[in-house]
Amino acid sequence: MHNVVLIEGDGIGPEISRAVQQILKAAGAPINWIPARAGMGAYRELGNPLPDETIELIDKYKVALKGPLETPVGGGFRSINVALRQRFELFSNIRPAKSLPGIHSPFTHVDMVIFRENTQGMYIGQERWVGDDEKHAESIAVVTREASEKIIHAAFQYARKHNFKKVAVVHKANILKLTTGLFLNIGREIAPQYPDIEFRDVIVDNMAMQMVMRPEQFDVVVTTNLFGDILSDLASGLVGGLGLTGSANIGEKHAMFEAVHGSAPDIAGQKKANPSALLFSSLMMLDYLGENEISAKIHQAVISTLKDNLDACTPDIGGKGDTFTYADAVCLALK
């Protein structure tokens, strides 16, 4: 039995969390859920968006599944997602994007995985006003050799383990010569250690264009924090949106799996939310825990549901059902 901390999150989080728990239970996944709080709901009730108890639970049990958290825009507390990644040194953000049957998209052969360095870059939160009139702001980006080596090795190792043939390092070294230049140079140093993997480097703006012209040319993509944030959302858009892609945050000792879409407070409690993103994240969690057969079984049940029982799915992907008819349909396919 695996102990997993469950942060249901804000908005639609509790609904999609219950749907995912239902499916994993039906598949026989040996999970003991440890409930924890974070986000706007925790802030309103406890005065703290990331309670110490939640941090202690994640530190104790090492693995967490997290629903979407609301983050104030332009003020208030900083992103809890970023805080958790930095607190537990979850340096590797892994975002697969793969075409799915039954999903309307002009792209039908996408199968790529974005590896995003998760702890540095522009997201370290070092911003400041210059002067007293708030007319000049500065932000600092940090790129280190240690963090770059970790994420680039992780990308190559993932490619080898999952039979991908290509790794692309994405950068802006023609302009940001020190920070992303360092990242690119480390990629070039590491690539010869994996002679079975084809290596290329791509400037980030060209990468965005190439992804919407010929996304099938990419397998594993590894990049810095800000670029990875943007490109992973773009990759999700190619296969139907953030509601259809999972996400993993992996460190040396801890791992957190999460839905990266918003908390959608406008539809909270209405059973309209698609649980696919959190479900796919939970499958990545099962793989991490060594429950590969159960993960594969659930994945096949989702594919069968999208192919043969789309009406039971949520309206955002063309169905006529709701969060729990979708979960019921996947459970039926498991049988």
**Same domain for 36 and 96?**
yes
Is 172 a known active-site residue?
Answer: yes
Catalytic residue among 229, 322, 326, 328: 229
| Helix, strand or coil, per DSSP, at residue 53 | helix
Is position 229 annotated as part of the catalytic site? Answer: yes
Residues 317, 301: Cα–Cα separation, whole Å:
17
Residue 113 is assigned to a structural domain of this protein:
no
Q: Are strands 255-258 and 248-250 parallel, antiparallel or unpaired?
A: antiparallel
- Other CB atoms within 10 A of residue 75 CB: 5
Look at residues 222, 248, 265 and tell me which one is the last residue of a structural domain: 222
Asked if 123 is an active-site residue, the reply is yes
Residue 292: count of CB within 10 angstroms of its CB: 12
**Per-residue pLDDT tens over the stretch 8-64:** 999 999 999 999 999 999 999 999 999 999 988 888 888 888 999 999 999 999 999
Q: What is the pLDDT of residue 36?
A: 96
Q: Is 112 a domain residue?
A: no
pLDDT score, position 72: 63
Exactly one of 66, 172, 219, 322 is catalytic; which is it? 172
Mean pLDDT, consecutive 10-residue stretches, the chain (335 aa), reads 96 96 97 94 86 95 94 63 88 96 89 95 85 88 95 97 97 95 98 98 98 96 96 96 95 95 91 96 97 97 94 92 96 94
- Options 10, 43, 66, 123, the catalytic residue: 123
Beta bridge partners of residue 92, listed in sequence order: 117, 250
Helix (H) or strand (E) holding 236: helix 225-238
Query: Has residue 246 been placed in a domain?
Result: yes
From 160, 187, 222, the end of a domain falls on 222
CB 274, CB 245: distance < 8 Å = no
Domain span holding position 205:
120-222
Cβ proximity of 99 and 263 under 8 Å:
no
Return d(Cα 254, Cα 147) in angstroms, integer: 16
162 lies in the same domain as 75: no
Q: How many domains does the chain have?
A: 2
Give 225's contacts (C-beta < 8 A, 6+ positions apart).
Answer: 116, 117, 118, 119, 120, 121, 122, 123
In a domain? residue 181: yes
pLDDT score recorded for residue 335: 86
Catalytic option among 59, 205, 266, 308: 205
Rounded Cα distance, 227 and 148, in Å: 14
Q: What H or E segment, with its residue span, contains residue 138?
A: strand 137-139
SS3 173: coil
**Rounded Cα distance, 195 and 32, in Å:** 41
Indicate the helix (H) or strand (E) that contains 111: strand 111-117
Give the end-to-end CA distance of the chain in Å, rounded to a whole number.
Answer: 22
